[in-house]
Amino acid sequence: MEEIVRAEGLRKTFTLSKKQQRIERTGETRRIAVDGLSFSAYRGEIYGLLGPNGAGKTTTLRMLATLIRPDSGDAVLMGHSIVKEPDRVRDIIGFMTSELKLEGFFTPDYLFDFFGMMHGMDKDKLAARKRDLFARFGIDKYAEVPVKSLSTGMLQKVSLVISIVHDPEIIIFDEPTNGLDVLTAKVVTDFLVELKGMGKSILLSTHIFSLVEKLCDRVGVIIDGKLVQEGTLVEVSKGDLETSFFELYHRIKGEIV
């Protein structure tokens, strides 16, 4: 299998403000978000990072998307280092997270073209891709409606197609179904499967066991910023992913809540 993503010793710490220290009643000034994370993802697979809130999943994906730099360690995506070549990495990934928003004033049609140009796409290819994706997600009827007037579900679909406007080889999704109604969630998960079928590599983070069981080929379990287990879905779940996860969590943390 062709290795598409290789993360080696990714580490990220954040400074805790006085206010955060007071709230959390701690004297520590730095918090380790990701602690020496290493994993690999391969072409045509869906790799899931599973862990509770605050485990470091989003921070890991943000580092891979080059929005933030690791304190140490590196990740190579299709031969490009996130530390040394962040601009090149941004052209081969599609990153979607609730943190990234679309300007409500513009229409899906305008934004699709704008972000296509931001990725250096030529007009003909952009027009063809817009036709395909807008038809595939039923956006064509709302192409000229300002984004602020779209329903949450339609907005999510627009965000999805814009994140992959440049047909990236690697798609990074942070909590892909969070806040979506069941219909839109199904559209998104079906599309991820379709993308996988097209040979794309998908990295996603989630805390939803059913989503991992439905989509992921391989799973990395993150607790307290460390990768504590990695393997195929069968290897990690051992028949029941939820039970296996809580056993692992109890072994490491010595508690459930």
Partner 1 sequence: MKLLALIKKEFHRFFHDPRLIVTMLLPGIVIFLLYSALGEIIYTEESRDLKVYLSGESNVVAMIEGMIEQNGDKVEWLPLESEETARAAILDGEATAILTFTENFDSFGENASVGIVYDNGSTDGSYFYSLVSSVLIGVGMRFPIRVQTVREDTEVARNFMQSALPFIVICFIFAAGMSVTLESVAGEKERGTLATILVTSAKRRDIALGKIVPLSCISMLGATSSFLGIALSIPKLMGMSFGVFGGYSGWSYLLLFAAILSVVPLIVSVISTVSTLSRSVKEASAYTSGLMILVMVISLVSSFVPSMGNWVFLIPVLNAVVAMQGVLAGGLLVWQTLAAVGINLVCTAGLVFLMTKLLSSERIMFGK
- Supply the minimum distance, in Å, between the C-beta of residue 118 and partner 1: 4
- Which residue spans within the chain are E strands per DSSP? 3-15, 30-42, 46-50, 72-77, 80-81, 93-96, 170-174, 201-206, 218-223, 226-232
44 versus 86: smaller Cβ distance to partner 1: 86
HSE (side-chain half, CA atoms, 13 Å) at 137: 30
- Supply the minimum distance, in Å, between the C-beta of residue 203 and partner 1: 14
- Supply the minimum distance, in Å, between the C-beta of residue 195 and partner 1: 18
- Supply the minimum distance, in Å, between the C-beta of residue 48 and partner 1: 21
6 versus 88: smaller Cβ distance to partner 1: 88
Q: Which tokens go with 78?
A: 């299709």
Residues 181 and 152: beta-carbon distance below 8 Å: yes
What sign does the CA torsion over 152, 157, 160, 164 have? negative
Can you give the binding site for partner 1, defined by CB under 8 A? 62, 65-69, 87-88, 90-91, 95, 99-103, 105-106, 110, 114-115, 117-120
Residue (of 65, 64, 33) closest to 51 by Cα position = 33
